[in-house]
Amino acid sequence: MKINKKKIGLGIIVFLIIAQFFRIDKTNPPVDPMNTIEKLENAPQDVTQLLERACYDCHSNNTNYPWYTNIAPVSWWVKRHINKGRAALNYSEWGTYSPSKKQHKKEESADFIEKGWMPIGFYKIMHSEARITDEERKLLVDWFRSI
């Protein structure tokens, strides 16, 4: 059986064109400033800035959608990642967590940041501003362990 590369290529092109009609929802849920981690845990300004720069696109209701989220199917992948990130941990909804969940999320945040698992590698490739230095990493880890 001979594979017709032209038909496969045409099929991919047609798929990509049709995919552009299926846009992701870029509406951020509302944020109650009184429910955020920085407010409830009295985060210092430098910690707040680090969280906003390195964590908030996936772990808050303050996502900034970059230009490439206008291109399907990349946009679908990004939106799925954001939804999973928010479901796992949402710093904008910190006040809705039980004390035990907060404790678990603080420990998890410190561990993931300390091990270099967060921010994730692919995100840092696309968002150089999310790269954190060893000093900034230590600052976040120490803060999470202190609250």
What would the pLDDT profile of 53-81 be if each residue is shown by its tens digit? 999 999 999 999 999 999 999 999 999 99
What would the pLDDT profile of 110-134 be if each residue is shown by its tens digit? 999 999 999 998 899 889 999 999 9
Cβ–Cβ < 8 Å for 132, 140: yes
Share of the chain above pLDDT 90, in %: 85
- How far apart are alpha carbons 122 and 101 in whole angstroms? 27
Cβ–Cβ < 8 Å for 113, 141: yes
- How far apart are alpha carbons 85 and 81 in whole angstroms? 6
For 127, phi then psi, to 5°, come to -130, 85
Q: Where are the domains of the chain?
A: 5-146
Q: Show Cβ contacts of residue 100 under 8 Å, excluding neighbours closer than 6 positions.
A: none
pTM of the entire predicted model: 0.88
